[in-house]
Chain A
Amino acid sequence: MIHRLLFICFLFSFINISHSNDDPWLIIDKAAKATKLLNYKGVFHSQHNKEIRSIEITHATNDDQEFIKMNVLDGSPGEVLSQGKTIYVYNTIENNVIIQKRKQQRLFPAIFPGNTDVIKNFYRLSVGKNQRIAGRLSQSVVLSPIDNFRYSYHFWLDKKTSLPLKMVVIDQAENIIEQSSFTQIKMIKDKNLDWFKPEVDPSKNYIFNDKVVGEGIVKEPFWTMKKLPPGYKEIDFITKRIPGLNILSHQLVFSDGLSYLSLFIKPIARGQKPKVGHVNLGVNNICARYHNGYQIMAVGSVPLTTCNNFSESIEF
């Protein structure tokens, strides 16, 4: 009997040691996988700037393919249906429902990049206290930036499943930039996908805006980027023809895995005066610069240093 007790004690001590030796980033890896593999339904509040919305989400993975449905519960109705890499947004504007195809994006709770290695070099991970979120015990985790080019990300991960239940983005002055938090959530076992369809209102006109946002006229870039803030990489490049004018406007999207910034390059029309300087619009910083006949504008929920750095980094 004593031998058995000693063996159990030894076994527990081994588990504790092996746990303490684990890579702390595994907790983020698990969270990233949980957002893809779990089947769940819940409601979360999302706040960005002064706007707050309640969103109902249903997520299921069937045959390695993700199905997500999101409904905006307050204000003007809105719906997102995502299957694999295809996303359709249904927006109600007066008597019309505009259906728009979009590129896949990382929305709460699936905010982590597929490869979490990209954020490991630019954020410090620290584990905080346990807290209850949406009636479930969660582990708080903070990703603090190692430099001034990004904000802090606070996560509360479900102790049982590792699913992110809450996220708060905080700037250097401790202001909340963005937050999302589940108010209720339940795991679903039913693999039925009957819920994966838009809620059709027969009294509305359905208009299919078939142009994929982000898909445009592919043009070779005539610019080069120098000295980008560390960790930021170009993840998208969109070229559009400006309606009514025979000129092209370009948008480059950069991300460090968590933060996003758009860099707009647009020729200045005759008679227009270029803008320079920066403004803070809610949680977005916007930095403008004039260069060789083009208006350069950087837009993003990123520190001013990052915004300025991007607008100054383009050359042609």
Chain B
Amino acid sequence: MNEKLSSLFDNELESHEIDELLIQSNRQMKKNNWSYYQLTRDVIQKNHLGSDNSTKNIMDAIEKEPTQLGGFGQPKDNSLESKSSYWPIAASFAALFVIGLTALNLTEFKSVDSVTLVEADIPTDLINDHYASASSNVNFFIQANYRK
């Protein structure tokens, strides 16, 4: 039955076969399968436009997911042995990544060039905040933290 449905969406059925299939599928309540095959067909033929809200729905679903603090659990991988040949390459990439990241960080760390403090660098807010907290009759009347 499923094979016939698949053939239908691939335009591989004759007219009489289509009629027979439609009658059978209505009887067997295959509505859900219909929609799956329709969706598959549309995607394969690049005709699927998707829902307007699909992105929002996906983001909402992700939002509801619990935070994976411990990382995602990994299913037992039986093909570990077969992948063992990739380990040297992966290790090389990892090493390069670590070296690169370290170098990048070091560069960034070194690039924190400090400059000598000059009068123009002193924000008025800084002085006003100090005056608002320190005793001085003259400066007590300044407007600390007020912005129009």
> Judging by beta carbons under 8 Å apart, are B135 and A106 in contact?
yes
Report which of B116, B122, B135, B137 forms a contact with A286, defined as CB distance below 8 A.
Answer: B122
> Judging by beta carbons under 8 Å apart, are B132 and A53 in contact?
no
> Judging by beta carbons under 8 Å apart, are B144 and A100 in contact?
yes
Q: Which one, A122-130, A133-141, A223-231, A269-277, is touching chain B?
A: A269-277
> Judging by beta carbons under 8 Å apart, are A276 and B133 in contact?
no
Q: Which one, A33-41, A43-51, A58-66, is touching chain B?
A: A43-51
Interface check B20, CB cutoff 8 A: no
**Chain B contact residue count (CB 8 A cutoff):** 30
Q: Considering the chains assembled together, what is the distance between the CA atoms of A253 and B136 in angstroms?
A: 14
Within 91-109 of A, Cβ neighbours of B (below 8 Å) are at: 91, 93, 98, 100, 102-103, 105-108
> Judging by beta carbons under 8 Å apart, are A72 and B141 in contact?
yes
Interface check A301, CB cutoff 8 A: yes
> Judging by beta carbons under 8 Å apart, are B146 and A53 in contact?
no
> Judging by beta carbons under 8 Å apart, are A273 and B113 in contact?
yes
Q: Considering the chains assembled together, what is the distance between the CA atoms of A20 and B119 in angstroms?
A: 50
Residue of B nearest to A216 (CB): B145
Task: Decide yes or no: A89 and B115 within 8 Å by CB, A100-B146, A260-B134, A275-B121 being known contacts.
Answer: no
User: Please, which residues of chain A bring their CB within 8 A of the CB of B113?
Assistant: 273
Q: Considering the chains assembled together, what is the distance between the CA atoms of A211 and B146 in angstroms?
A: 9
> Judging by beta carbons under 8 Å apart, are B114 and A260 in contact?
no
> Judging by beta carbons under 8 Å apart, are A238 and B133 in contact?
yes
Interface check A308, CB cutoff 8 A: no
Interface check B130, CB cutoff 8 A: yes
Residue of A nearest to B147 (CB): A243
Interface check B23, CB cutoff 8 A: no
> Judging by beta carbons under 8 Å apart, are B146 and A107 in contact?
no
Interface check A306, CB cutoff 8 A: no
Within 3-53 of B, Cβ neighbours of A (below 8 Å) are at: none
Q: Mark A239-281, 1 if CB is under 8 A from B, else 0.
A: 0100100000001010100001110100010000111111101
> Judging by beta carbons under 8 Å apart, are A299 and B127 in contact?
yes
Interface check B143, CB cutoff 8 A: yes
Residue of A nearest to B138 (CB): A48
Instruction: Give the distance to chain B from A178, nearest Cβ to Cβ, in Å.
Output: 6
User: Please, which residues of chain B bring their CB within 8 A of the CB of A284?
Assistant: 127, 130
Interface check B1, CB cutoff 8 A: no
Interface check B140, CB cutoff 8 A: yes
**Chain A contact residue count (CB 8 A cutoff):** 59
> Judging by beta carbons under 8 Å apart, are A279 and B137 in contact?
no
> Judging by beta carbons under 8 Å apart, are B126 and A89 in contact?
no
Task: Decide yes or no: A93 and B143 within 8 Å by CB, A274-B114, A275-B117, A286-B117 being known contacts.
Answer: yes
> Judging by beta carbons under 8 Å apart, are B145 and A213 in contact?
yes
User: Please, which residues of chain A bring their CB within 8 A of the CB of B127?
Assistant: 281, 284, 299
Residue of B nearest to A214 (CB): B133
Interface check B62, CB cutoff 8 A: no
Interface check A297, CB cutoff 8 A: yes
User: Please, which residues of chain A bring their CB within 8 A of the CB of B117?
Assistant: 275-279, 286, 288
- 11 A-B pairs with CB atoms under 8 Å apart are A47-B138, A48-B136, A100-B146, A105-B133, A180-B137, A251-B130, A262-B134, A288-B121, A290-B114, A297-B126, A299-B126
Contact residues of B with A, CB < 8 Å?
Answer: 112-119, 121-122, 126-127, 129-130, 132-147
| Contacts A53-B137, A275-B117, A275-B121 supplied; 8 other A-B pairs, CB < 8 Å | A48-B139, A91-B146, A105-B135, A105-B140, A264-B126, A275-B116, A290-B114, A297-B126
Contact residues of A with B, CB < 8 Å?
Answer: 44, 46-49, 51-53, 55, 70, 72, 78, 80, 89, 91, 93, 98, 100, 102-103, 105-108, 111, 178, 180, 209, 211, 213-214, 236, 238, 240, 243, 251, 253, 255, 260-262, 264, 268, 273-279, 281, 284, 286, 288, 290, 297, 299-301
